[in-house]
Amino acid sequence: MPPYFAFLRAINVGKRVVRMETLRGLFEDLGFADAETFINSGNVIFQCKDARAAALETRIAGHLESSLGYPVATFLRSAAELAAVNAYRPFPEEAIRTAGACCAGFLARPLEAPQQEVLLGLQTDIDTFHLHGRELYWLCRKKQSESTISGALLERKLKTSLTFRNLTTVARLAEKYR
C-alpha cells in the first residue's frame, strides 16, 4: 500500500495544541496502517487500501472534528502527487532562495476562474502567487509577518479552505517517503 500524506489545517496553531501521539492515535482509530507524524504542524503519513481520496478527506475531517472539538480541514496527497508538488518550480530558483518564505498551499480542488481573479488582485510587491492544479504557491519576498497576506485572509477572500507548508517541509517529506 502506498502512503497518503494528510496536511491538516489548525493543528498546533494558537491554543489548538494536539500531541503527535494523540494525532497518530486518531488516524489509527480510523483503521489506517503505519500512521506517522512529521514535525508538529499537522502532517500525517499513513497507509490505506481505500483509493478514494476525497471520501477519505471527509472521513478524516469528520473524525478529527468530533474528537478534537473543532473543524480540521484535511487535504490528502498520494506519494506521486507530493513528489510532483516538490518537483514543480513555480518561481525562479534565485527568487525562492532569497525569499522570506516560499510555501505550497494545499487545496481540495483547483480554484475556479472568479477565485483566480481575486487571488491575482491580492498580489503585491512582496507577495506573488502561482496556481498549479490543487496547489497555490506563495512567494513572500519578506518575512510573512511583514506581509499583509495570511492564510486566513486567503481563505476568506477565496472562500475556500487551504493549508500552507514551507517548500522545505514539502521537500523533506517527499524525499523521506519516495
Q: For residue 44, what is the domain's CATH number?
A: 3.30.70.1280
Q: Considering 82, 104, 123, which residue would you say is the last residue of a domain?
A: 82
Instruction: Note whether 98 and 164 are same-domain residues.
Output: yes
Q: In this predicted structure, what is the pLDDT of residue 106?
A: 98
Give the full edge-to-edge strand order of the sheet including 74-78.
Answer: 33-37, 43-47, 3-8, 74-78
Give me the tens of pLDDT residue by residue for the chain, a chain 178 residues long.
789 999 999 898 888 899 999 999 999 999 999 999 999 889 999 999 888 889 999 999 999 999 999 999 999 999 999 999 999 999 999 999 999 999 999 999 999 999 999 999 999 999 999 999 999 999 999 999 999 999 999 999 999 999 999 999 999 999 988 7
Q: Considering 18, 52, 82, which residue would you say is the last residue of a domain?
A: 82
Instruction: Note whether 93 and 171 are same-domain residues.
Output: yes
Q: In this predicted structure, what is the pLDDT of residue 86?
A: 97
Tell me the three-class secondary structure of the chain, residue by residue. Answer: CCEEEEEECCCCECCECCCHHHHHHHHHHCCCEEEEECCCCCEEEEECCCCCHHHHHHHHHHHHHHHHCCCCCEEEEEHHHHHHHHHCCCCCHHHHHHCCEEEEEEECCCCCHHHHHHHHHHCCCCEEEEEECCEEEEEECCCHHHCCCCHHHHHHHHCCCEEEEEHHHHHHHHHHCC
Q: In this predicted structure, what is the pLDDT of residue 87?
A: 97
Instruction: Note whether 93 and 78 are same-domain residues.
Output: no
Q: Considering 26, 56, 82, which residue would you say is the last residue of a domain?
A: 82
Which CATH number do you get for residue 99?
A: 3.30.70.1260
Q: In this predicted structure, what is the pLDDT of residue 115?
A: 98
Relative orientation angle of helices 79-87 and 167-176, to the nearest 10 degrees: 130
Instruction: Note whether 76 and 137 are same-domain residues.
Output: no
Q: What is d(CA 94, CA 143) in angstroms, rounded to the nearest whole number?
A: 16
CB 119 within 8 A of CB 155: no
Number of folded domains that form the chain: 2
Containing domain of residue 54, as a range?
A: 3-82
